[in-house]
């Protein structure tokens, strides 16, 4: 029996010819990532056990993005602690202030991720990097501490499910709708501790940003990781970003999958996940007319340049509805600059939207858009749990950028065709 993409990466990193689902392995790590929320806890654990070095300073990335720019005194203390740790350990890849971006967009953009690599990050949405053919997964802060010190981590090799993509997107449908549809089909635990491996002739039509969005939310189905095969689109993105050698993996023809799900992209609709689970998914039209108080477009799931272009197509020449707060969050400074050069920021500001610096901000109820009691938000972020974006009885509806922009213009939940 052959191996899946994920199994091949694991075998390579633990020095085995073959691994099988369920095997317990100790694997070498190509990169460890932490944020201003998770890294301070990891640093505390290293200090507790007197671990006074890291295995390789060049293979650690620390990004101050969750509550940064600092929203309060504790956030400032956290960033200061990580800043001092980076200085003490001579870690060059420390991102703060104007150089900061949202970690899951920043790391691929800056060339820290390459096909065939094994990456752990103390954030659940680290699974984003599978869009580039890497194995990446979220871990806890204690595991981050161990990884920074030892350069290895233990894993149970996951079984895999295959999602076969065919067809082409209809108007106003994108990668966010693929993953929302999938989560709606299998539930929040439907891929629990599994690898989701995407295949099919539709992949060549998926932009790299669509792939990032899809992999980003794999954890919302309980997956250990998600991964795309490396193709022309991947290689074009990697060109001039990754200047080290790398070796992509491909699944064997006889690799074993627990199931195969076929998805025809041409049959998809703009979807929305209603409170309070990402699996509570229905077509947007089923919630049409619900009043909206706030719209968030951006963050790590849909803050890429193609996402901002989609939003600008809807907002251009139109106004954000009275009573609606529309907040745009480019995922990195480079995306921000590109949006500026393309005139997208002017479109947003003229429409009455607020353009934020790159930050996780409101996604986890941090800042730049926290919700009050009873308020409803349509957001391109990745979670809509109780109290996720503020007050416990506020509501978050997850949708793609075109839908979110249309809701901002209409003042109610609607599909883009209703406002264009």
pLDDT 10s digits, 117-174: 999 999 999 999 999 999 999 999 999 999 999 999 999 999 999 999 999 999 999 9
pLDDT more than 90, % of the chain = 99
Beta strands 194-199 and 152-156, pairing class: unpaired
- What does the angle CA 372 – CA 325 – CA 300 come to, to the nearest 5 degrees? 90
* Phi then psi dihedrals of residue 46, to 5 deg: -65, -40
pLDDT 10s digits, 57-93: 999 999 999 999 999 999 999 999 999 999 999 999 9
Nearest to 14 by CA among 1, 3, 4, 24: 24
Helix (H) or strand (E) run with residue 295 in it: strand 294-298
Decide if pLDDT at 419 tops 90.
no
Helix (H) or strand (E) run with residue 272 in it: strand 271-273
pLDDT 10s digits, 260-291: 999 999 999 999 999 999 999 999 999 999 99
Q: How confident is the model at residue 420 (pLDDT cuts 50, 70, 90)?
A: confident
Compute the distance between CA of residue 48 and CA of residue 252 in angstroms, rounded to an integer: 44
With beta carbons less than 8 A apart as the criterion, state whether 348 and 312 touch. Answer: yes
Which structural domains are found in the chain, ordered by start?
5-263 (3.30.499.10), 272-418 (3.30.499.10)
């Amino acid at each position: 029996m052959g191996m899946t993409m994920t199994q091949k990466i694991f075998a390579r990193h633990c020095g085995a010819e073959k691994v099988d689902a369920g095997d317990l392995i100790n694997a070498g790590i190509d990169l460890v990532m932490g944020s201003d929320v998770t890294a301070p806890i990891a640093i505390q654990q290293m200090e507790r056990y007197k671990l006074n070095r890291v295995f390789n300073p060049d293979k650690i990335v620390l990004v101050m993005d969750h509550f940064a720019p600092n929203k309060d005194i504790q956030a400032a203390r956290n960033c200061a602690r990580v800043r001092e740790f980076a200085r003490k350990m001579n870690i060059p890849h420390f991102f703060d202030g104007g150089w900061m971006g949202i970690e899951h967009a920043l790391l691929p953009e800056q060339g820290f991720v390459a096909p065939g690599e094994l990456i752990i990050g103390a954030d659940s949405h680290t699974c984003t990097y599978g869009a580039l053919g890497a194995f990446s997964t979220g871990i806890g802060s204690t595991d981050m501490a161990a990884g920074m010190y030892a350069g290895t981590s233990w894993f149970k090799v996951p079984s895999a499910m295959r999602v076969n993509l065919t067809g082409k997107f209809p108007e106003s449908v994108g990668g966010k709708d693929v993953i929302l549809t999938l989560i709606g089909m299998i539930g929040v635990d439907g891929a629990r501790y599994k690898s989701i491996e995407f295949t099919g002739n539709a992949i060549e039509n998926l932009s790299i940003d669509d792939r990032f969005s899809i992999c980003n939310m794999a954890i919302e189905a309980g997956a250990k990781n998600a991964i795309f095969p490396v193709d022309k689109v991947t290689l074009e993105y990697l060109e001039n970003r990754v200047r080290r050698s790398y070796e992509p993996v491909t699944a064997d023809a006889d690799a074993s999958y627990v199931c195969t799900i076929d998805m025809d992209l041409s049959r998809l609709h703009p979807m929305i996940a209603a409170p309070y689970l990402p699996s509570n998914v229905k077509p947007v039209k089923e919630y049409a007319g619900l009043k909206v108080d706030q719209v968030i477009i951006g963050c790590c799931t849909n803050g890429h340049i193609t996402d901002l272009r989609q939003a600008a197509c809807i907002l251009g020449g139109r106004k954000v509805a009275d009573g609606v707060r529309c907040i745009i969050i480019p995922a990195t400074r480079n995306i921000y600059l590109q949006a500026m050069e393309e005139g997208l920021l002017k479109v947003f500001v003229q429409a009455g939207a607020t353009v934020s610096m790159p930050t996780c901000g409101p996604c986890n109820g941090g800042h730049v858009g926290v919700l009050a009691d009873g308020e409803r938000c349509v957001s391109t972020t990745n979670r809509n749990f109780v109290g996720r974006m503020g007050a416990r009885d506020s509501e978050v509806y997850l949708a793609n950028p075109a839908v979110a922009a249309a809701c901002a213009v209409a003042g109610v939940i609607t599909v883009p065709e209703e406002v264009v």
